[in-house]
Amino acid sequence: MAFDPLQERGIPLDDQLRDWHALNVTPIGADHADPYTRCRIITMNGVEAEAIRFSHQFARHCPDLEVKQRLARLRYIEAQQQKAVGWLLPGTASVPETAIAHQQAAVDLTAWVARMEPDPNLRQAYEFGLLEHVDHLYRYANLYEMIEHRGAEKIVEQATEVLPGRPTSLQHRDPLDDVREPYRKGATEPLSRLHALTILSAEQQIMTFSMNAGPMCMEPIARQLFQEIAMAEEGHVTHYESLADPDESWWERLLYHEYNECYLYFSFMETESDPRVKNLWELHLSMELEHLRLAAELFREREGRDPDQVLAPALPPPVTFEPNKGYIRELLATQLERTTMGTGYVREAHERFSRTQAAVMGRDKPPSERVIDGNRAISGREYRLETEAPRPAGLLK
């Protein structure tokens, strides 16, 4: 039977507060954890961080004191959830290792969402961004081998290939061309709205990590690479946030944030391989069911509509972290040479693109290219992790 979170009872909000001991969860193993367990943790950390950011923005735009207080109570629990999820990471990984883990999560989450997305315009947006994360993973893997003398297979194992994608140097576009046409809430399936919020949350998490982690590096090439990729991620957040219908009300957005958290915690509970982490997903799902009930209550009060009018009647199939090698190879062969122009996609460099490239690149090779040269000089090769025959090369000119 399909799981309908609107029909389930969760833990009452007054019973959800946890003390420091309960929040100080035991982290996953540094060397033996399933890489997709780590990907689920990174994803849910980003989803909880987005829930907190959204709630703060809602409160800043809300004149109703009672609503602000209700949001504050919910937000405090979301903040506790974010701490418990984030603290599952062991803290022993270096900054480049953590960057590789974030990019693996981005690659396989975005690939899965793109494969499942029913709206062709949204699917194209995800496929476009996916090929750029593929390249970020490749650049960070070469940085890791160059400065730590270890291969990224230690982190991604055999789940995700490490290959060149759309070159990071070609991801610096005029910000005007990062803005997409939004979906329309009345004509878009509920699943598409969940996908858009999930990918935005994950992308925002990666952008925040990139811009904060770069200054923690000592090696000049590492600092420069993080800076370059952080700027590309800024464009990605613009790309994904523009997909949402701006006519969605605050109450509707709150409802979807809570429903999406139920969806993801349920998905990860169903697919988690680590029993201890699975228990945390189950606990947080029980909490989110109550958050959804309270958001639905506010939606009925303020919009005068039933949540069933905008939400799916039951959760879609679980979001699944799994290898997407064949799918990504197909996209590399057919969509690598695309860039954006206005709200669409083209295969030729245009005047705005060329102007931005000239302004950003200056006269030097960008860090994303120099890190490959540097690793070749030190390791005698560029780092790749391939499990299939090599693909033909093809780059946007």
Which DSSP string do the residues of 107-171 spell out, in sequence order? HHHHHHHHHH---HHHHHHHHHHHHHHHHHHHHHHHHHHHHH---THHHHTTTS-B---S-GGG-
Give residue for tokens 């290939």.
161
Crossing angle, helix 220-241 and helix 95-116, to 10 degrees? Answer: 20
User: pLDDT for 129-183, tens place per residue?
Assistant: 999 999 999 999 999 999 999 999 999 999 999 999 999 999 999 999 999 999 9
Mean pLDDT of the chain: 95
Q: Is 184's pLDDT higher than 80?
A: yes
User: pLDDT for 238-296, tens place per residue?
Assistant: 999 999 999 999 999 999 999 999 999 999 999 999 999 999 999 999 999 999 999 99
CB atoms inside a 10 Å sphere around CB 57: 12
Average pLDDT over residues 221-226: 98
User: pLDDT for 186-195, tens place per residue?
Assistant: 999 999 999 9
Average pLDDT over residues 3-9: 94
Tokens representing 76 are: 């405090």
Query: Is residue 32 very low, low, confident or very high in pLDDT (cuts 50, 70, 90)?
Result: confident
Give whole-number Cα distances, 369 to 66, 136, 376, in Å: 53, 11, 11
Distance CA 47, CA 40 (A): 10
User: pLDDT for 303-346, tens place per residue?
Assistant: 999 999 999 889 999 999 999 999 999 999 999 999 999 999 99
Q: With 0-12 CB in 10 A as exposed, 13-18 as middle and 19+ as buried, what is 187?
A: exposed
Q: What is the pLDDT of residue 364?
A: 86
User: pLDDT for 373-393, tens place per residue?
Assistant: 999 999 999 999 998 644 544
Q: What is the pLDDT of residue 2?
A: 84
Categorise residue 344: left if φ over 0, alpha if ψ from -120 to 50, beta otherwise: beta
Distance CA 353, CA 341 (A): 8
Distance CA 45, CA 366 (A): 31
Tokens representing 39 are: 């990907």
**% of the chain residues with pLDDT over 90:** 94
Give every CB contact of residue 220 below 8 A, 6+ residues apart in sequence: none
User: pLDDT for 111-129, tens place per residue?
Assistant: 999 999 999 999 999 999 9
Distance CA 198, CA 261 (A): 9
Give every CB contact of residue 153 below 8 A, 6+ residues apart in sequence: 385
User: pLDDT for 75-92, tens place per residue?
Assistant: 999 999 999 999 999 989
Distance CA 101, CA 349 (A): 32
Q: What is the pLDDT of residue 396?
A: 42
Average pLDDT over residues 297-304: 96
Tokens representing 354 are: 């060329």
3-state helix, strand, coil split of the chain in percent (to 5) is: 65, 0, 35
Q: For the whole model, what pTM was predicted?
A: 0.96
Average pLDDT over residues 343-364: 93
